[in-house]
Amino acid sequence: MAQERWTAVDTYITNLLHPHDPVLDAALSDSVAAGLPSIAVSPTQGKLLTLLALANGARNILEIGTLGGYSTICLARALPPGGRLITLEYEAKHAAVARINIARADLSGVVELRLGRAQDTLPKLALEGRGPFDLIFIDADKPGYSEYLAWAVTLSRRGTLIIADNVVREGEVIEPGSTDPMVQGIRRFYESLAAESRVSATTIQTVGCKGYDGFTIAVVINGK
């Protein structure tokens, strides 16, 4: 019952507030057709990313975990002229689908997709002197989140918005004895976040067509 209701409410909101999005619809259907997992952010969550990037005036965005480029498009759409987004993806197959979806959204000129493990591509970005980024979206493998948070802070400035997806996991996050490596990864992420004096953060639990999960929102308060 609850899931049906959450999905129906998501549909109600989407139909009223941001219907008819052929570019995002095609990104999703091509991702499914290519056999990618159905784990992109939902339409309302994607719109939230667009709005947060707009509100923050983001010109330089970093995304960790591209999949088929759905959230990439949501974020890149918010960029002003001259803005850039770098997205990091490990799976060549996901990256290939994403490149097509990003091109269809007419965003190939502003999005740079870097193939490889984020554990390797993040230090390269730092070595190249890239950043600071205005907004960083963490959404790759959950065991990596604690390390991604550390890189996000390194690649930030005061005022950078750091957003992390899937940080509630149906409430499993409060189970210290969970045998799920994703839950343990998220718990290590929270421990790192709690110990990180340079950011101020909270998590909003969410329900919707993707079930029960949540987003962490953090702002760098003491960066460069």
Site string for ligand DHB, 34-63 (x = CB under 6 A): -----x------------------------
Structure tokens at 129: 């002197």
- Does 166 bind ligand DHB (CB under 6 A)? Our answer is yes
Give all strands (DSSP E) within the chain, no chain letters.
60-64, 84-89, 111-115, 135-138, 161-165, 199-208, 211-220
Size of the site for Mg ion (CB under 5 A): 3
Q: What count of other Cβ atoms lies within 10 Å of the Cβ of residue 131?
A: 20
Among the listed ranges 8-16, 34-42, 54-62, 175-183, the one in contact with ligand SAH (CB under 6 A) is 34-42
Q: Of 21, 30, 141, 172, which one interacts with ligand SAH (CB under 6 A)? A: 141
Q: Of 63, 89, 139, 196, which one interacts with ligand DHB (CB under 6 A)? A: 139
Contacts (CB under 5 A) with Mg ion, residues 83-112: none
Q: Within 13 Å of residue 116, how many CA atoms lie on the same side as its CB?
A: 11
Q: How far is residue 51's CA from residue 193's CA, in Å, rounded to a whole number?
A: 24
Q: Which residues contact 198 (CB under 8 A, 6 or more apart)?
A: 153, 220, 221, 222, 223
| CB of 152 closer than 8 Å to CB of 62 | yes
Q: How remote is the C-alpha of 196 from its chain's centroid?
A: 20
Q: CB-wise, 20 or 187, nearer to ligand DHB? A: 187
Among the listed ranges 112-120, 129-137, 152-160, 161-169, the one in contact with Mg ion (CB under 5 A) is 161-169
In the complex, minimum distance from the CB of residue 157 to ligand DHB, in angstroms, rounded to a whole number: 26
Q: How remote is the C-alpha of 106 from its chain's centroid?
A: 20
Site string for ligand SAH, 43-82 (x = CB under 6 A): ----------------------xxx--xx-----------
In the complex, minimum distance from the CB of residue 197 to Mg ion, in angstroms, rounded to a whole number: 27
Which residues lie near ligand SAH (CB under 6 A)?
39-41, 65-67, 70-71, 88-91, 94, 117-119, 139-141, 144
